[in-house]
Each structure stands twice: as structure tokens, then as C-alpha cells.
Amino acid sequence: MMLRIRVGGLTILGRPDESTSRVEGLFVGPDGFEGWDDGPDIRRESVDRPGQHGEFDTPVFNGSRVISVDGHALAWSEAELGHLRNQIMGLGGFGDLMRITVDHQGSTRWADVRRGAKPTFQDAGIRFGLLRARFAIHFVAANPRKFGEERTFPAGVPAVHYGNFPASPELIVTGPKAGGYTITGPGGRQYVVTQSLAAGQTHRIDMNTGWLYLNDVLQTGAVAQARTWAIPPGLPGAVHTITGGTGSLSVRLTDTYI
């Protein structure tokens, strides 16, 4: 699969699209795509052991993911090149969150990013009749994880994903659920909801944060126990069950990578 980067309405290719014979547009330069295939930096607290060898064993966490794209803009006219410049300069200019989607090495993965540094765009002359410029854009993904395919599993069926990092599921509960309910996940962990659900109403539980949403509106005071969990990659997966009421439970799980 040819490298293709999509972000903020822009498409940046690894090379010109041979299927259409088009050579104008934005293209990644040699070794110009960094931070996506690499792991994020590691963050840890270093505390020496007084009067002893080594350090105290402290937790290790992943830092943010820093992504850079250096490449070439190609256009047949100054107006077209100026349009590409404006697109690069305006990308993430309000500091808004953007989704970057990368097709590469037979897979499609995405992450949410913001502009990480000022973009640059410099004219580089004319070659074979094409106006050229060099550009550089940088992004920071505060959440360093990358995501792929999403699957939905019913209660009682093992929920499985095929990434390389534990994935936080979303639990979708559809009413009626009079008097609340209890969801049991891996290792016997439980999430206990005290809020009733009418027929047709939906609860969404985000296991990354432990937050509960009613029809996509965040709820407070509706949970008696909010233990969260993540599901390791590969088999055997994790079975979820629900007790209380007559509604249904489904588990949404997205392939998660680091």
C-alpha cells in the first residue's frame, strides 16, 4: 500500500499517483515521515537509592507522540502552488484537534493530533515545468496510541483486538434497565450503574476514563462503582456480562497500537 497521509482535509502521498498520471500535489520527501512508525518517548521519574547502587524502581509511562512530515509541493502554476502554501499554513492554525490517518504497509491507522510547531513552506524553483516548494509540518498526539479497525461484540462473546497494546473498550447498554445494572469484565472487575434506562435509551461507558454517558450526555452521580479495564491484544480476549433489566450490552473495541 502506497504511503498516504490524510489530515485536516489535506492528502500527502509518498509518491505521485501513477494510476491517474497526476504529479501535482503534496508528497513526502526521502526519510521525511518521522514519529509515526517509531515508539513514543518514555517518561519516568529517576530517584537514586541513597548509599546504594542503582535507583528506585518507578513506573514507566509513554510520552506524547511527535510526528513530522517533510516533503515537496508540486504545481503547474503559481496560483496552484500558492493554494498549497495556504493549506499548509492553515493546517491546525486554531490549535484545534485533528485526526491524522495513515495508510502504510498494508494497514490504515489513525490518531488525534494538534499542530506541534510552526509549519514552513519555501520555494525550490522549477523542474520539468513544475513549480516546486519544500514544506515541513509537525504534529503532537497527546495520546500516543494509534488506532485501527473497530469491532463490536455482544455480551458473552470474547472481545478481541489485533493491535500490540492494551485497548480500552466502549460499553454500549440499551434499555430498558430499571434500577440500574452491573457489568462484569475481565478478572471479575465490575462497573455498577444506579441510573435506570428507559426503553430505547442508551448508556455509553468509556473504559479509558470511566465516564458514563446517557444518549451521549455525560452523567454524574449515576455510578456506584467505576472500575475500569483494558483488554490485551490477541487471544483469548475478554468476556463481558451484564445483570439487571432486560436490555442489551455490546462491546466496541478498536485495534490499539503503540
The pLDDT tens digits of the residues spanning 33-91 come to: 999 999 999 999 999 999 999 999 999 999 999 999 999 999 999 999 999 999 999 99
Q: Which one-letter amino acid corresponds to residue 209?
A: T
Q: Where do the H-state alpha helices sit in the chain?
A: 78-90
Rounded to whole angstroms, the Cα distance separating 29 from 114 reads 22
Rounded to whole angstroms, the Cα distance separating 117 from 128 reads 32
In this predicted structure, what is the pLDDT of residue 21?
Answer: 58
Rounded to whole angstroms, the Cα distance separating 204 from 216 reads 7
**CATH fold of 147-257:** Jelly Rolls (2.60.120)
Closest CA to 252 of 234, 243, 240: 240
Residue 212 region by backbone torsions, left for phi larger than 0, else alpha for psi between -120 and 50, else beta: beta
Rounded to whole angstroms, the Cα distance separating 11 from 22 reads 14
SS3 73: strand
In this predicted structure, what is the pLDDT of residue 231?
Answer: 97
Phi/psi for 81 (5° steps) reads -65, -40
**End-to-end alpha-carbon separation of the chain, Å?**
21
Closest CA to 57 of 48, 66, 65: 48
In this predicted structure, what is the pLDDT of residue 129?
Answer: 86
Beta carbons of 5 and 28 less than 8 angstroms apart? yes
In this predicted structure, what is the pLDDT of residue 187?
Answer: 92
**What is the pTM for the complete model shown?**
0.86
In this predicted structure, what is the pLDDT of residue 18?
Answer: 54
Residue 244 region by backbone torsions, left for phi larger than 0, else alpha for psi between -120 and 50, else beta: left
Positions of the chain with pLDDT under 70: 1, 16-22
Query: CB within 8 A of 169, min separation 6: which ones?
Result: 159, 207, 230, 231, 238, 240, 251, 252, 253
Pairing of strands 10-13, 25-34: parallel
- Same fold across 4-144 and 147-257: no
Q: 250 is written with which cell numbers? A: 455490546
Query: CB within 8 A of 46, min separation 6: which ones?
Result: 55, 58
In this predicted structure, what is the pLDDT of residue 1?
Answer: 62
What's the residue count for the chain?
A: 258
Closest CA to 220 of 229, 211, 228: 211
For the chain, the structural domain boundaries read 4-144, 147-257
Closest CA to 138 of 102, 92, 192, 172: 92
Rounded to whole angstroms, the Cα distance separating 9 from 92 reads 11
**CATH fold of 4-144:** Elongation Factor Tu (Ef-tu); domain 3 (2.40.30)
